[in-house]
Chain A
Amino acid sequence: MSLITRRSLLANAARGGLALGAGGLIAACGSSSSSSSSSSSGASSSAAAAAGTPKHGGTLRAGLTGGSSSDTLDPNAPVNNTDYARVANLYEGLVWMNAAGQPYFRLAEEMTPNKDATVWTIRLRPGVTFHNGKDVTADDLIFSINRVVNPKSPGEAANILHGIDAAGMKKLDNRTISVPFTKPYSTLVESLAQNITVYVIPVGFDPKNPVGTGPFKYVSFTPGQQSVFARNENYWNAPLPYIDQLVMTDYADETSQVNALLGGQVDVVNLLSQDTIGTVTGSGKKVVISDGGGWNPFTMRVDQPPFTDVRVRQAFRLACDRQAMLNTVFGGHGTIGNDVFGIWSTEYDHAIPQRPHDPEQARALLKQAGHEGLTIELVTADIAQGVINMAQVYAQQAAAAGINVKLRQITVTEFYGPNYLKWVFAQDYWYYSPYLPQVQQATLPVSPFNECHFDNPRYNSLYSQALATLDEAKRVEIAHEMQMIDYDQGGYIIPFFPPVIDGYAPHVHGIVQSKVGSSFNDWDFQHMWIA
Chain B
Amino acid sequence: MSFTLIMKAVEESGLSVWIRDSPSIFAYWFILSFHALGMGMAVGASVVIDFRILGIARDLPLSPLKGLYRIIWAGFWVQVVSGILLLIAYPTKALTNPDFYIKLTLIGIAIAVMKMIQNRVFSDSSLTEPAMMLKGRSLAVWSLVLWLGVVTAGRLLAYTFTYINYSG
Decide whether A and B are members of one complex: no
* Interfacial residues, chain B to chain A (CB-CB below 8 A): none
* Interfacial residues, chain A to chain B (CB-CB below 8 A): none
